[in-house]
Amino acid sequence: FIAVYDPVITRWHKRTRLAPEKDGIFVARDPINNLPVDLSCLTFADDLFRIGVAVKSEAAIKRIKAWDFCLDLELAKRGLGQNRTKRQVLYSPYGKRASIYLQHFADSPVCQPPLGRLCKSAIYLGSILQQDDRNTLEVSQRIQKAELAWRSMGRFWSEGKISLRIRRMIYLTVVRSILVSGLTALVLSPSEVCPRFFLRSKHSVSLGSRASLVFRGRMSHC
């Protein structure tokens, strides 16, 4: 399937790129091999993620329709098709007319079932993407899961018979791995970090405050 699907998506992506994409606006460096990676189009199995830019809502609607038309053509050549019932659309307008653009976009056919669904947030590869470009939901979800893992160990963290080295190793394996697993680079606002930080600073354990552990684990990967 991948041998058939990937070339189709590659051709579609090249065919539908606009000037900003060709100029590398969505290109980043792979931290491992330092090679450029185009983030405007990502695939995982049969899931497809596409990012685009548009000056106005009309242009955004036109862009999605063009993507659909070209993708349908490419997939049809291989006897494949889109499942639009699962499609989620995030639209983040900016400027003085942002609310007007958002309403116009929301009323368009591309955001109405069965062609698609306009969402305030969507999950992609386990991460939560938000329409307002914030990370509140993603941060909260990761901290909650890490906190559950922390609590599941009970009094282990304050057990004096267990060396600090062992406790640190267990923390990195059981807690921090959940906190940062699959995490992409995020730009966190003070409101997304400080409330949790000060809340946890009240709970001191042998490893230091839970806040500092979570905070360092978070920031070292951001």
DSSP one-letter string for 77-100: TTT----GGG-EE-----STTHHH
- Closest among 126, 128, 170 to 149, alpha carbons compared: 170
The model's pLDDT over 123-174, given as tens digits with 9 standing for 90+, comes to 876 788 888 878 888 888 888 999 999 999 888 888 888 888 998 899 999 9
pLDDT for 217? 28
Range name among 36-40, 62-66, 108-112, 215-219 with the lowest pLDDT average: 215-219
CA distance 207 to 202: 13
pLDDT for 139? 86
Q: What percentage of the chain's residues is helix, strand, coil (to nearest 5)?
A: 50, 15, 35
Stretch 23-34: mean pLDDT: 83
Q: Is 146:171 a contact under the CB 8 Å cutoff?
A: no
The model's pLDDT over 82-129, given as tens digits with 9 standing for 90+, comes to 888 888 899 988 888 889 998 999 999 888 887 788 888 888 767 888
